[in-house]
C-alpha cells in the first residue's frame, strides 16, 4: 500500500506540472458527493498553546517545534506534514477539465486524473456508507451528530468544497467531525507522554540531530523518518487512503509498515513468532467484520494481532489509545534497578531534564506499573493461564533489567575513555553536539534543567554527551570526530541489539530475543572493552614517548574534508579556546 500511495502522489505531482503521460481512463459513473462548506476545526490534536509551533500554516518558509526558525523543510513535507506546510497547486493547467465537470462532480473528474484513489473511495464505506446494516447504524449516528444527511462521504467532506479552499485532511480539520470518540481516544495518549502515536511528529522534529541535519544541508536524508512519523496526525496511518478500512487497520502488516527495522522490529519478531505463524496460516478464515470487543478468541480469531493486544484497555474494552498498558515504552527509558547500582552516569538519570521521554525512569515494581501489568495478564489470559502470563511477563522485566546493566557497563567504559583522554579527538576538539551552540538559549533552564543548561551555556556542546537516548543522533549526523568508534559500539549495543532483544522477548520470538538481540549485544560489549584497552595502551605509549596527538579538528582534509564543518569549523566557526573540564567532564555532573 505504501508503494501505491507514493505512486499516486508522484502521478499527481506530474499532472500538476504537466509532465505525466496521458492515461486512457475507463469512465465509471460514481455517485456525486455532498458538497458542504468547510467545517470548523477542532482543537483535539493541537490546543491553542501548541498551534504556533505545530499547526499554524507557514508553507515551506519555516519548520516545526521549538527549533522551527532554524530550518526550512523539504518540499515533500507539503504532503508529509500538511497541517503547516501544504501549498495548493496551480490549477490553471486544468482549465479544460473545469469546463467539462461541474464543481460538485469531484469523483467523475478524479476518475480521469487519479482513478486509483477514486476507485478505492467508491468501494469504501465513505463511498457507500450504507453498504451493510452495521454501517447504516454508524452512518445514522454520524448524521445525528452533524445535523444533516449523508448520501456519501465525498471529497469535499475531507478536502474542502473547492480547489480554492483545498486542504489535506488530518484529525482536527476532518476526521474528528464524524469520528469524535475515536479521535478523543487517540489524543488521550497525550497523558502517557512520548513515545506514542500522538507524539510521533513531535518525536520526529524535536530531537536536535533532526534540525542539525538541515543546518548541514542534508535534511532530505531523513525523508524515511518523515514518511513514518507524521502519519499519526492523520488517521490514514492505519486506515490507509482512500479505502480507510477497519479490516486493514486490524491486520499486523499495516502496523508493520512503520513498526519494523533496526531498533523496533515489532513486525518481524511478531510474524515469525508462534502467534504470527498461526495468523499467517489461518487469517483468511477469520471473522473480520467483528469489532475487537466482539471477537471470541479461538473462534473468530485464532491468534492475537497488534490491534487486539495493544488497543486493550482492560475490563473487556478496546480503544484507540495504545499507550494505556505500555510499561517499557519501546525499551528506551532507563529503568530503576532492583538489586544493582548503576556505575555510569545512568545513576543520575533523568539528569534534571524536563524533556520527555528523557524525564522518566521506569519502575517495574511501582503501583502504576503493576496496574498496567494486570491489564496484560488479563488480556493474555484469553489464551494462556494467568500464572503463565504473569511469569512470562516477569521474565521480560528481568531480561530488560539485565540488558540495561550491560549498557551501564559499556557506558562506564566510554566515560573512562573521556576522563583519561584516551579518546582522540577529545570532546572539545571535535564537532560539537547537535545544536550545541543554540540549544541553551532556545530551551532554557526550565526544560533542560539547570545542570544541563549550564553545560550547554558554558561549552556550546563541546563536551561528552553519550548513551541512551542522547546519542541516538550518532545514527543521523556525522561530523569531524563525531561519533567516535567507541561511541558507535555503545550505540549499536543498546539502540540496535538490546532493543531487538526486547522486541523478540516481548513477542516470544526466540531468535530475535537471543541471536539478533542478546548475543550481538554482549558481543558489542566485548568489542568495546577490547577496543578501549587498545586506546589506553596507545595513550600509554604516546605518554611514555612524549608524543602529543594532534587532536584538533579539522586536521586532515582526506579524512574529514567531505563534511561542511571541515570548511566552516562548526555552526559558530569560532571554537571555545578554553572549555572548563571539557575533556574530563562526563555528561551532566
Instruction: Please tell me the least confidently modeled range out of 17-21, 80-84, 365-369, 466-470.
Output: 17-21
**What average pLDDT does the segment 29-40 reach?**
44
The predicted-structure confidence for 103-127, as pLDDT tens digits, reads as follows 888 889 999 999 999 999 999 999 9
Q: pLDDT tier at 357 (50, 70, 90 boundaries)?
A: low
Q: pLDDT tier at 561 (50, 70, 90 boundaries)?
A: low
CA nearest neighbour of 58 among 30, 37, 86, 99: 86
Please give the share of the chain, as a percent, with pLDDT higher than 90: 59
Please check the confidence at residue 26 and state whether its pLDDT lies above 80.
Answer: no
The predicted-structure confidence for 167-223, as pLDDT tens digits, reads as follows 888 888 899 999 999 999 999 999 898 889 999 999 999 999 999 999 888 999 999
- β-sheet bridge partners, residue 318: 312
Length of the chain: 589
Pairing label, strands 312-314, 317-318: antiparallel
pLDDT of 411 reads 95
Please check the confidence at residue 370 and state whether its pLDDT lies above 80.
Answer: yes
pLDDT of 156 reads 87
pLDDT of 232 reads 66
pLDDT of 161 reads 82
Q: Exposed, middle or buried: residue 256 (CB in 10 Å: 0-12, 13-18, 19+)?
A: middle
What is the enclosing helix (H) or strand (E) of 334? Answer: strand 334-335
Contact (CB, 8 A) for 332 and 357: yes
Predicted TM-score of the model (pTM): 0.86
Instruction: Please tell me the least confidently modeled range out of 26-40, 329-343, 350-364, 537-551.
Output: 26-40
pLDDT of 96 reads 87
Q: pLDDT tier at 30 (50, 70, 90 boundaries)?
A: very low
- How far apart CA 450 and CA 353 sit, in angstroms, is 8
**What average pLDDT does the segment 348-354 reach?**
81
Return the top range by mean pLDDT from 89-98, 339-348, 349-358, 542-551: 339-348
Please check the confidence at residue 18 and state whether its pLDDT lies above 50.
Answer: no
The predicted-structure confidence for 221-237, as pLDDT tens digits, reads as follows 999 999 988 866 789 98
pLDDT of 7 reads 31
Fold of 2-233: Hydroxylamine Oxidoreductase; Chain A, domain 1 (1.10.780)
Please count the helices (runs of H) and the strands (runs of E) in the chain.
29, 4
Where do the structural domains in the chain lie, given as residue ranges? 2-233, 394-568
- How far apart CA 165 and CA 39 sit, in angstroms, is 12
Stronger pLDDT, 372 or 13, i.e. the higher one: 372
Task: Tally the C-alpha atoms within 13 A of residue 455's C-alpha that lie toward its C-beta.
Answer: 26
Please check the confidence at residue 39 and state whether its pLDDT lies above 70.
Answer: no
- Averaged pLDDT score across all residues of the chain: 85
The predicted-structure confidence for 508-550, as pLDDT tens digits, reads as follows 999 999 999 999 999 999 999 999 999 999 999 989 988 876 5
pLDDT of 41 reads 80
**Which residues have C-beta within 8 Å of that of residue 456, sequence separation ≥ 6?**
436, 439, 440, 448
Stronger pLDDT, 557 or 342, i.e. the higher one: 342
pLDDT of 8 reads 33
First to last CA, the chain: 49
Please check the confidence at residue 3 and state whether its pLDDT lies above 80.
Answer: no
pLDDT of 271 reads 97
Contact (CB, 8 A) for 303 and 278: yes
Amino acid at each position: 500500500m505504501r508503494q501505491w500511495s507514493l505512486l499516486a502522489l508522484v502521478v499527481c505531482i506530474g499532472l500538476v506540472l504537466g509532465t505525466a503521460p496521458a492515461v486512457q481512463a475507463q469512465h465509471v459513473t460514481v455517485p456525486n458527493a455532498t458538497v458542504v462548506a468547510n467545517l470548523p476545526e477542532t482543537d483535539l490534536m493541537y490546543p491553542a498553546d501548541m498551534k504556533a509551533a505545530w499547526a499554524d500554516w507557514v508553507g515551506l518558509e519555516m519548520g516545526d517545534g521549538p527549533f522551527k526558525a532554524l530550518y526550512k523543510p523539504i518540499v515533500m513535507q507539503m504532503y508529509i506534514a500538511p497541517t503547516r506546510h501544504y501549498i495548493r497547486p496551480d490549477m490553471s493547467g486544468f482549465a479544460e477539465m473545469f469546463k467539462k465537470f461541474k464543481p460538485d462532480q469531484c469523483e467523475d473528474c478524479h476518475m480521469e486524473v487519479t482513478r486509483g484513489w477514486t476507485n478505492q473511495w467508491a468501494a469504501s464505506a465513505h463511498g457507500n456508507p450504507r453498504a451493510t446494516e452495521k454501517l447504516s447504524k454508524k452512518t445514522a449516528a454520524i448524521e445525528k451528530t452533524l445535523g444533516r444527511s449523508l448520501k456519501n462521504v465525498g471529497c469535499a467532506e475531507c478536502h474542502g468544497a473547492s480547489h480554492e479552499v483545498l486542504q489535506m485532511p488530518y484529525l482536527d480539520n476532518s476526521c474528528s467531525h464524524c469520528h469524535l470518540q475515536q479521535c478523543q481516544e487517540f489524543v488521550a495518549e497525550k497523558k502517557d507522554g512520548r513515545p506514542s502515536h500522538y507524539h510521533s511528529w513531535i518525536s520526529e522534529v524535536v530531537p536536535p540531530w533532526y534540525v542539525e541535519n538541515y543546518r548541514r544541508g542534508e535534511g532530505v536524508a531523513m525523508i524515511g523518518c518523515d514518511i513514518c512519523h507524521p502519519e499519526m496526525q492523520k488517521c490514514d496511518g492505519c486506515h490507509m487512503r482512500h479505502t480507510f478500512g477497519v479490516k486493514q487497520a486490524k491486520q499486523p502488516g499495516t502496523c508493520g509498515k512503520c513498526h519494523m527495522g533496526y531498533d523496533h522490529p515489532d513486525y518481524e519478531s511478531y510474524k515469525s513468532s508462534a502467534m504470527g505463524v498461526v495468523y499467517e496460516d489461518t487469517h483468511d478464515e477469520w471473522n473480520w467484520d467483528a469489532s475487537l470487543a466482539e471477537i471470541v478468541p479461538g473462534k473468530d480469531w485464532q491468534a492475537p494481532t497488534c490491534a487486539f493486544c495493544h488497543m486493550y484497555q482492560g475490563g473487556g474494552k478496546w480503544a484507540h489509545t495504545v499507550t494505556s498498558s505500555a510499561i517499557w515504552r519501546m525499551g528506551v527509558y532507563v529503568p530503576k534497578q532492583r538489586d544493582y547500582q548503576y556505575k555510569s552516569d545512568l545513576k543520575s538519570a533523568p539528569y534534571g531534564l524536563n524533556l520527555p521521554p528523557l524525564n522518566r525512569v521506569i519502575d517495574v515494581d511501582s503501583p502504576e506499573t503493576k496496574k498496567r501489568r494486570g491489564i496484560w495478564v488479563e488480556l493474555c489470559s484469553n489464551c494462556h493461564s494467568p500464572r503463565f502470563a504473569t511469569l512470562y511477563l516477569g521474565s521480560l522485566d528481568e531480561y530488560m533489567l539485565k540488558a540495561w546493566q550491560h549498557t551501564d557497563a559499556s557506558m562506564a567504559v566510554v566515560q573512562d575513555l573521556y576522563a583519561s583522554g584516551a579518546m582522540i579527538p577529545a570532546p572539545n576538539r571535535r564537532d560539537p553536539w547537535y545544536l550545541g551552540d543554540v540549544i541553551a538559549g532556545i530551551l532554557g533552564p526550565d526544560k533542560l534543567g539547570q545542570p544541563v543548561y549550564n553545560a550547554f551555556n558554558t561549552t556550546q556542546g563541546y563536551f561528552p554527551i553519550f548513551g541512551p537516548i542522547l546519542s541516538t543522533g550518532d545514527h543521523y549526523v556525522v561530523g569531524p570526530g563525531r561519533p567516535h568508534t567507541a561511541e558507535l559500539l555503545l550505540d549499536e549495543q543498546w539502540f540496535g541489539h538490546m532493543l531487538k532483544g526486547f522486541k523478540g522477548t516481548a513477542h516470544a520470538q526466540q531468535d530475535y530475543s537471543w541471536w539478533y538481540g542478546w548475543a550481538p549485544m554482549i558481543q558489542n560489549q566485548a568489542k568495546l572493552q577490547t577496543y578501549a584497552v587498545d586506546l589506553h595502551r596507545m595513550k600509554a605509549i604516546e605518554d611514555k614517548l612524549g608524543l602529543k596527538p594532534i587532536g584538533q579538528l579539522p586536521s586532515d582534509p582526506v579524512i574529514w574534508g567531505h563534511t561542511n564543518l571541515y570548511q566552516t569549523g562548526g555552526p559558530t566557526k569560532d571554537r571555545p579556546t578554553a572549555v572548563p573540564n571539557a575533556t574530563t567532564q562526563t555528561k551532566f555532573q
